[in-house]
Amino acid sequence: MSLLALPDNRFIDVNESFLRLFEFTREEVIGRTSLDIGLWSDPTAREGLLEKLRAGEPVRNVELTLRTKSGKTRHVIVAVETLSLGPHEAWLSAVVDITETKDLERRLLENERLAAMGRLTGYVAHEINTPLTNISLLAATAAKRSQDPEIVSRLEKINAQRRLIGSILQDLAGLTRPPPIQPVETDLRTIVDGSLEQMEPYLHEGVELRKEAGSPVVADVDPRRIQQVLVNLTKNALQATSNGTVTVAVEDRGDTVALVVHDTGPGMPPDVLEKLFQPFFTTKPKEQGTGLGLAFAKSVVNAHGGTIEVESELGQGTTFTVVLPKIPSPP
């Protein structure tokens, strides 16, 4: 709750939960305006609200995005009442924090989208599998009847292409269903080494690829899958960084282990950060990106009961942190 005096909109009083929500002390707020204390991430939203109030329109259940003292985003619902305080008017506003509800809503939507995609890819995979099986049967019988080694070898190539289509379909389906993981005791340093070996094609002038791995870091993970995750993260970092360093580190954190990929690249704007883990989201040209790398990484990490987090600042760089329990606890 807050009480603002008109006409200059300064805070006359705020209650404890207002201070807690926005991380201020009373002294920092009283006598100042909401603009002074940096409450508005979008000052035009403030103008809209003020216009309504000045026109005498009721403000009820208005959704706003505000900022705490430390810069955290808070989604809130606001209602404002005009009061007479002696000769002056004042606005009494009540703010309800719906940040967590919003996050939940977003996650539910994401899950729904994945589920819908799962149904679609399941259907497509099923329908395409029948003609694929026919292709391989026809190729096999044709190969048996032919004496011409050239034809036999081409039929084998047709079959290889068919297997490729099959595995693409499987990958797609694996994105929406958590992939089955086969955890074995693994020293994560071998995963780091294995991933770095695969980085050869992405190394380029001006970028240094560093490894930070000291003593053994052991956890029960699916080594093949986790290596694919690390390959995806490191590849992204190398692709993003035209000049600077990419560091891959492995850490023992007690009950968990962490794989950290840090780059000094361009960082990401908020609209990219928001969509990062969505399947098919990419900012890269067609030949370079499918937008599946991070979606895949997330589903593998989730299947281990771990988390994948990103910190990014424009012009500074990006850090992806994968935290895995030493003993997997699938969701």
Ligand X SMILES: Nc1ncnc2c1ncn2[C@@H]1O[C@H](COP(=O)(O)OP(=O)(O)O)[C@@H](O)[C@H]1O
The partner in contact with residue 204, picked from Mg ion, ligand X, none with C-beta cut-offs of 5 to 8 angstroms by kind, is none
- Please tell me the distance from the alpha carbon of residue 86 to that of residue 157, in angstroms, as a whole number: 89
Q: By CB under 5 A, tell whether 236 contacts Mg ion.
A: yes
Nearest to 99 by CA among 127, 57, 67, 61: 67
Query: Which residues are paired to 246 by β-bridges?
Result: 209, 263
CB of 228 to ligand X, least distance (A): 12
Pick what 291 binds: Mg ion, ligand X, none; C-beta below 5 to 8 Å, kind-dependent: ligand X
CB of 265 vs ligand X, minimal distance in Å: 5
Binding partner of 240, given Mg ion, ligand X, none, CB within 5-8 angstroms per partner class: ligand X
8 Å CB contact between 225 and 181: yes
* Minimum distance, C-beta of residue 239 to ligand X, in the bound complex (Å): 7
Contacts of 41 (CB under 8 A, 6+ apart): 65, 66, 67, 73
Residue closer to ligand X (CB basis): 86 or 206: 206
In the complex, which residues of this chain contact ligand X (CB under 6 A)?
232, 236-237, 240, 263, 265, 268, 272, 276, 281-284, 289-291, 293-295, 318
Query: Using CA atoms, how far apart are residues 104 and 124, in angstroms rounded to an integer?
Result: 30
The entry of Mg ion, ligand X, none near residue 276 (CB within 5 to 8 angstroms by kind) is ligand X
Tell me how many degrees the CA angle 120-121-125 measures, rounded to the nearest 5. 125
By beta-carbon proximity to Mg ion, the closer residue of 279 and 293 is: 293
* Residue 3 binds: one of ligand X, Mg ion, none (C-beta under 5 to 8 A by kind): none
Q: Give the per-residue contact string, 288-317, with Mg ion (x = CB under 5 A; - = no).
A: -----x------------------------
Identify what 203 binds: ligand X, Mg ion, none; CB under 5 to 8 Å per kind. none
The residue nearest ligand X at its CB is: 293
What CA–CA distance (Å, rounded) separates 247 from 208?
A: 8
Dihedral angle at the C-alpha atoms of 22, 28, 29, 32, nearest 10 degrees? -130
* CB 36, CB 46: distance < 8 Å: no
279 lines the binding site for Mg ion (CB under 5 A)? no
Phi, psi of 220 (to 5 degrees): -85, 105
Where do contacts with Mg ion occur on this chain (CB under 5 A)?
236, 293
